[in-house]
Amino acid sequence: MTEEWFFLENTFQHYPWGSKDGISTLLNFRNSENLPIAELWMGAHQSAPSRIKTSDGPVALNEAIRSDPDRFLGQSCRKRFGDTLPYLFKVLSAAHPLSIQVHPGKAQARSGFERENRLGIPLTSPERNYRDPNHKPEVILALTPFTAMCGFRPVQETADLIRQTGIRELVSSVASLEANGDYRVFLQELWSLPDASKRIILDDLSSLLETVPGKDLSDASRHPLSAVRLLSDEYPGDIGIVSPLYLNTVNLNSGEALYLSEGILHAYLSGTGIELMANSDNVLRGGLTQKHIDVPELLSVVSSDPHTPRRLVPVSDTTRSRYPSPAEEFELQLLQLEGASLTTDFSAPTIVLVTHGKLDIADASGCTSPLPRGSSIFIPAESGSLTFSGEGIAYLATVPHTRTGTA
């Protein structure tokens, strides 16, 4: 394989919370089966690797990397992260809220993966918590108005919001939180309440929500009951409906980005965005889902401290914006060209996704390929100087030379 770049064939994930038109509209294709398309995966994760188009036919990207890691990853990337692409690049489009979830740290992921292997739980089992031995910090960049819950609120803020509901069984649950400030204990007590107590809370909450005018999430950061109402309609009977009262609710406008580190409890509620993360599919769920829930394992991983949502500040010039984050494995970049060109050196493995317009890519010898809207390419490490031109927008996932932020 001697090409300087490879066009990708990628995998769609048809999770039931996905939008039927968000990704297809963005990438300019017809969703002929009218299925929910929740995510588009671009990368080399073992469960759904992209395929590169070669002169010999399509080849799974993880297999291509395995056959020639120096060529595809480069020595620097291999030295830091081993013989695998260190990131997973996605487009995500949520028509319905995702589960309350958390991602493990490296040691937790490695231990859990090895434990479930010893127990003989198949990697494809729905009961599996750990599908790989890696952690999963991530960045979400909004392409449309996007609403998320991210990390615990300050303790007093949670206590005030819950007391304002006037629901006695719920109010009593914040006493220990105010006493010790430990959200892990709070969740354990709330999620393990007897079913009868949960029903009382949810029935009283339902009566309270009749006074909430609608499910408009455009200002959910200031009016969390709008998010509670949405969750109540989507997941009746789930105590996770209460979560906007103790999790920060964040509204992102198009172009705004949020960073989530390991251990941060979160849930995406609505919107379409670009997502970039370490190369992992490890998700521990606590509610708002029909998928496998493992509360004890989630509580062993979750950070129990209040969290201030971390919005990323882009570093921009005339054609490119970088979104530095604390993650070592990845960096998200935005390329916007309006008839200009950008020549840049590619020393790290990079994936490019074109979302608007049409771009061209050329190497130093003049070899050129058109990149229409919806196309994606993989650029191996040490590909040297390449030039983008045309009118369009593309998102790039790459490996930073050094750590790009602070924890």
Using an 8 Å Cβ cutoff, are 207 and 200 in contact? no
Residue with tokens 């771009």: 359
404 pLDDT exceeds 70? no
In the set 131, 153, 184, 285, the catalytic residue is: 285
- At CA 379, angle to CA 376 and CA 383, rounded to 5? 155
Say which CATH number the domain at 376 has. 2.60.120.10
One domain, residues 256 and 169? yes
What does the alpha-carbon distance between residue 145 and residue 224 come to, in Å, rounded to a whole number?
16
285 among known catalytic residues: yes
Q: How many domains does the chain have?
A: 2
pLDDT tens digits along 84-126: 999 999 999 999 999 999 999 999 999 999 999 999 999 999 9
- Taking CA atoms, 101 is separated from 265, 291, 305, 313, 358, in Å, by 6, 11, 16, 25, 37
One domain, residues 215 and 253? yes
One domain, residues 256 and 306? yes
One domain, residues 382 and 290? no
DSSP 185-218: HHHHHHHTS-HHHHHHHHHHHHHHHTTS-----T
One domain, residues 248 and 348? no
- Here the tokens at position 206 are 């339902």
Which residue range(s) make up the domain with 193?
146-312
Say which CATH number the domain at 244 has. 1.10.441.10
DSSP 249-278: EEEE-TT-EEEE-TT--EEEEEEEEEEEEE
pLDDT tens digits along 351-391: 999 999 999 999 999 899 999 999 999 999 989 999 999 99
Local structure of residue 19 (DSSP, 8 states): B
One domain, residues 184 and 197? yes
Share of the chain above pLDDT 70, in %: 97
Q: Is residue 169 part of a domain?
A: yes
What does the alpha-carbon distance between residue 303 and residue 183 come to, in Å, rounded to a whole number?
8
Q: Is residue 17 part of a domain?
A: no
Q: Is residue 105 part of a domain?
A: no
405: confidence class by pLDDT, cuts 50, 70, 90: very low
